[in-house]
Amino acid sequence: MPDGAPVLTATARVETGAESVDAAHRLLADEYGLEFRLVMGVERVLRRGPVDRVIVRITPNTPDGHREP
pLDDT digits (tens, 9 = 90+) for 13-30: 999 999 999 999 999 999
Specify if 27 maps to a domain: yes
φ/ψ region of 9 (left if φ > 0, alpha if ψ in -120 to 50, else beta) reads beta
Contact yes or no for 11/61 (Cβ under 8 A): yes
Verdict on whether the full-model pTM lies above 0.95: no
Average pLDDT over residues 39-57: 89
The residue range of the domain holding 25 is 13-60
Specify if 36 maps to a domain: yes
Specify if 7 maps to a domain: no
Q: Max CA-CA distance within the chain?
A: 50
Specify if 2 maps to a domain: no
Specify if 65 maps to a domain: no
> Is the predicted pLDDT of residue 69 greater than 60, yes or no?
no
Among the listed residues 11, 5, 7, the one whose alpha carbon sits nearest the alpha carbon of residue 61: 11
For position 36, what pLDDT does the model report?
A: 95
Specify if 69 maps to a domain: no
Q: How many domains does the chain have?
A: 1
Specify if 6 maps to a domain: no
